[in-house]
Amino acid sequence: MTERPNALPARPYFSSGPCAKRPGWSADQLATESLGRSHRSKIGKNRLKLAIDLTREILRVPDTHRIGIVPGSDTGAFEMAMWTLLGARPVTMAAWESFGEGWVTDVVKQLKLDAEVVTAPYGELPDLTRVHQDRDLCFTWNGTTSGVRVPNGNWIRDDRAGLNLVDATSAVFAQDIPWDKVDALTYSWQKVLGGEGGHGVLILGPRAVERLESYTPAWPLPKIFRLTSKGKLIEGIFSGETINTPSMLAVEDYIDALEWAQQIGGLTELCARADANAAALDRWVQKTPWVAHLAADPATRSNTSVCLTLPGADAEVPKKMASILEKEGAAFDIGAYRDAPPGLRIWCGATVETRDIEALGPWLDWAYAQATA
């Protein structure tokens, strides 16, 4: 019988969203001058603008792209992109996990567009080189619920006619995004930076802005989705004048995470930390006979939302393991996403410490022995 380990992970926060806070985080360290103030006051707009400016710096977003803070987490941001940009030309929906499948449902059943749908099973990518690039394209850069990521943007043509709409919520701040390959990108800061939920970020390239200013969708747009006025982009959204009232406490928390990222070395260090965490988990997987990666191909395997399967095990085993580990205080929220194949999902983003991933391995072994006894 596998013995119960003695040493717990110091920070057993392995949830895939909201994710672990940055190392050393404390609410006492957050700036409070904007709290209780209007988001449209000078200080409110300045803090929102600072969040945008730091985002641009850390993610290396070129000046050609606008960055806006919008409501509704990544879901709200991506819905906003689809409802305002799609419909001008044919669209391809590429889906290989549950969130991508959700975008397919929205486009086909809600917007009622005649979309080409390209899919792949959980753990795999479709052949993206066969995607028609004269069409608009929607896809997830990193599948949070499948552990599969797009390895690079080389398959995207520079002379594409369509727009690329990218859900990158568990990719940004851990994977280097080629900004010339995306036209609209969304994420929520509750992922790799461990921010609070409820807010999304929408990044628009010049081709997306041109579409917004030259095309009016056939369907009504809720106020919360409207990015233009009198045929022109509402520039204020991209300078800190949000569409609706944001939580300034959540904004201050995001600024805190961005400043931490800046201090440790920016995007290069954030990516390196995620890579190190994923590598540490993979070392444990390689020596453990009862577990395997859902994403079999290392080239397309996520370095943030790492999804594991238990070949041959009953579907209840990973659920029992997650419950056991939570009770022990060894790991929180590591069950697979509800629509994904049974298994475990362990967040390896930059706010997680590699030593905690290493400490988790023996606990997973012990929990498996307990769950299958």
Instruction: Give all domains of the chain, ordered by start, each with its CATH number.
Output: 27-261 (3.40.640.10), 266-372 (3.90.1150.10)
Q: Which of 193, 239, 234, 196 is nearest to 213 (CA)?
A: 234
Per-residue model confidence as pLDDT tens digits over 280-315: 999 999 999 999 999 999 999 999 999 999 999 999
What integer is the mean pLDDT of 90-109?
Answer: 95
Is the dihedral angle over the CA atoms 224, 227, 228, 233 positive or is it negative? positive
At 2 the pLDDT is: 84
Mean pLDDT of the chain: 97
Q: How far apart are CA 94 and CA 119, in angstroms?
A: 6
Return the number of other C-beta atoms located less than 10 Å from residue 276's C-beta. 17
pLDDT score of 86: 98
pLDDT for 327 equals 98
Contact 233, 209 (CB under 8 A): yes
- Residue 128 to residues 61, 105, 160, 347: CA-CA distances in angstroms? 24, 20, 14, 26
Mean pLDDT of 69-81: 97
pLDDT band at 31 (very low <50, low <70, confident <90, very high): very high
In percent, the amount of the chain with pLDDT more than 70 equals: 100
pLDDT at 215 over 70: yes
User: What is 64-112 written as a DSSP string?
Assistant: TSEEEEEESHHHHHHHHHHHHHTTSS-EEEEESSHHHHHHHHIIIIIS-
Report the pLDDT value the prediction gives residue 130, as an integer from 0 to 100.
Answer: 86
Q: Residue 181: its pLDDT value, please?
A: 97
Question: Closest Cα to residue 336, out of 350, 315, 353, 351?
Answer: 315
Place of tokens 């568990």: 170
Rounded to an integer, the average pLDDT of 201-217 is: 98
Range 345-372 average pLDDT: 98
**pLDDT at residue 144, rounded to an integer:** 94
**What is the value of pTM for the model shown?**
0.97
Q: Is the pLDDT of residue 1 over 70?
A: no
Q: What is the mean pLDDT of residues 346-352?
A: 98
Residues 141 and 11: their CA atoms lie apart, in Å, by 28
What average pLDDT score do residues 243-248 get? 94
- How confident is the model over 134-191, as pLDDT tens digits? 999 999 999 999 999 999 999 999 999 999 999 999 999 999 999 999 999 999 999 9
Render pLDDT for 261-271 as a digit per residue (tens, 0 to 9): 999 999 999 99
